[in-house]
Amino acid sequence: MTVDLVIKNAKLVTPRGINDSGLIINDGIIVGITKDLHLPQADRVIDAKGKPVLPGPIDGHCHHTSPPDTAETSSQAGARGGFTTLLDMPPETTFNGEEYRAKRQRFSGNCYLDYTLHGAAASGYPTGSLAEQWVQGATGVKFFVSNAGPGWPQTFDGDIIEGFRELAGVNGLALIHAENDQIIQDNSRRLKAEGRKDFPAMLEARPKIAEVECGRRIIQYLEETGCRGLIVHTSVPETVYRAAEARIRGVKVNIETCPQYLYLTTDDVKKKGPWAKFAPPARSKETTLRIREMLSKGWIDTVATDHSPHSKEAKEAGVDDILNAPNGIPGLEPFLTLMLNGVNEGWLSLERLAAVTSENPARIFGLYPKKGALRVGSDADLVIVDMDKEVIIRNEDQITACGWTPYDGYKVKGVPILSVVRGTVIMEDGVVVGDKGYGEYNPRL
Ligand SMILES: [Zn+2]
C-alpha cells in the first residue's frame, strides 16, 4: 500500500523517552510507528536526518486578536514558530454562550493552525453564562482577578467563587490571572502621586506579594468549590509550591508559566521599559532560575506564550511614562527556539519539553489524545527540530503584525525546521508553506 507521508530517520520524543522510529501518516492521522526498515511506500518521504521529532506544540494561551494581530497574522506567526495548535485567549471577549458562538464564526476560515477558543468571565453577567460557554466548546474560562482594562470588567471575589462553582458543575476549567488588584491600584496611585514615570516604577506597582497573595487565595477558592483551575503565567515559586501541596490534598490545580519568566528579569525591565512590560512582571534573576528548576522537576505543568502583540506606537507611550504602556509582549515566533535553547543549556530535557508544550496542555484542555501525542490514532501534528542550529532573534525577522520582539539580539541554539498539522507540512525552513483557513476548530473530546 502507499500512504500519504512517512517520516524516516526520526528520534521520536515523548514525555516517557526518545525512540529511533519512523512515522506512517495517512489521511492526517498517525497510522503506524515502526522501525524504518518496515516503512511503506509514501507519496512524500521526509528524512528527519536523525533529528528530534516532537509532538505538535500547543499554545494554551495566545491572545490571537490582540491588535495589531488578527487570527490570520498570529496563527501565521505561530506556524513559523513551530506551533501546530493555538488556544485563543480573549481580548476578543466572550462572556456568554452567544458571544462564544459568534467568535467561533469569526475565526472560521482565518487560521493557519488548528485552534480552540477559551471563554471569559466578568462580574455583571448572569449565572449560567460560564457553563453556556463551556457547553459550546470553550477549553477554559478566563478570570481576571486584577483589573484588565475598560474592555473587560473585573471579576470580584464573590463572583469568582460562584463562577468556580458553576464551572465545577460542568467539570469546566477556570483559567486565572492571579494578582491582587487592591495592592496594584494602591501602589499605582501612590507612584503617580509621587510623579514616578521611570521604568522600575512598574515593578513597584506590581510586586511579588500581589501575585503570591492572590495565588494562595485562588487555590483556596478552587479547593472550596471543587473546580479545576489553571493558574496562568505564573512567575513566583510560592504559587508553584502551594499548588503542588494543594494537589496532594486533591485540589485540581495546575500551573502555567511562559518563556518571559524563564528568560527576562527585572534588569530587562529597567533597561527596556515598555518593551519588557507584561503582567505579572519579570522577576529577579534568582526567581527566574527557580522557575526553570520547577519546570524541569515537573512542578509546573505547561509553558505558553501569553502572546499579546501591542504595536510599537502603543508601547512607545511608555518610554516617557512607563505606567502608561500596555502590558504584554509578542511571543509566538521565538517560543520554541527559546525552549530548545533551554535544552541546549541543560535546564530542560527534550522529554519534559514534549510534556509541557504538548501532552500536558492537551490533557488539561481536553484535547488528548487527538492532540498532544505521537501515537497511532492521534492527529499527525509534529515538529522536527535542529538542536545544533544557531540563530540570532531579530525584530526585522518577525512576521507577527507588531514587528518587534523583546528578545531582539538574543543568540539561541535549537530551532524548529519543519512542522506538520494533520499530515500536511505547514512550515519548512522557517517559511510558512501552509494555507490560511487550513486550521480547524478542535472541539474538546
Ligand atoms: Zn494573557
From first to last of its 445 residues, the chain has per-residue pLDDT tens of 899 999 999 999 999 999 999 999 999 999 999 999 999 999 999 999 999 999 999 999 999 877 888 889 999 999 999 999 999 998 767 899 999 998 888 889 999 999 999 999 988 889 999 999 999 999 999 999 998 877 787 889 999 999 999 999 999 999 999 999 999 999 999 999 999 999 999 999 999 999 999 999 999 999 999 999 999 999 999 999 999 999 999 999 999 999 999 999 999 999 999 999 999 999 999 999 999 999 999 999 999 999 999 999 999 999 999 999 999 999 999 999 999 999 999 999 999 999 999 999 999 999 999 999 999 999 999 999 999 999 999 999 999 999 999 999 999 999 999 999 999 999 999 999 999 999 999 989 8
Gap between the Cα atoms of 200 and 202, Å rounded: 5
Return the axis-axis angle of helices 181-193 and 208-225, rounded to nearest 10°: 160
* d(CA 305, ligand 1 centre) in Å: 8
Return the axis-axis angle of helices 208-225 and 157-169, rounded to nearest 10°: 40
* d(CA 139, ligand 1 centre) in Å: 15
Secondary structure of residue 379 in the 3-state scheme: strand
The angle formed by the CA atoms of residues 362, 214 and 246, to the nearest 5 degrees, is 55
Rg (CA), the chain: 21
* d(CA 59, ligand 1 centre) in Å: 11
Q: Cell numbers at residue 353, please?
A: 519539553
pTM for the predicted model, two decimal places: 0.97
**Fold for the domain defined by 57-364:** TIM Barrel (3.20.20)
Q: Cell numbers at residue 359, please?
A: 501532552
Q: Beta strands 253-257 and 17-20: pairing type?
A: unpaired
* d(CA 307, ligand 1 centre) in Å: 7
CATH of domain 2-53+379-432: 2.30.40.10
* d(CA 183, ligand 1 centre) in Å: 20
Q: Cell numbers at residue 338, please?
A: 527559546
**How many helices (H) does the chain have, and how many strands (E)?**
15, 20
Find residue 424's DSSP bridge partners: 421
436: phi then psi, degrees, rounded to nearest 5: -60, 135
> 225 near 299, Cβ under 8 Å?
no
Task: For CATH 2.30.40.10, list the domain ranges present in the chain.
Answer: 2-53+379-432
* d(CA 264, ligand 1 centre) in Å: 17
Gap between the Cα atoms of 258 and 317, Å rounded: 25
Task: For CATH 3.20.20.140, list the domain ranges present in the chain.
Answer: 57-364
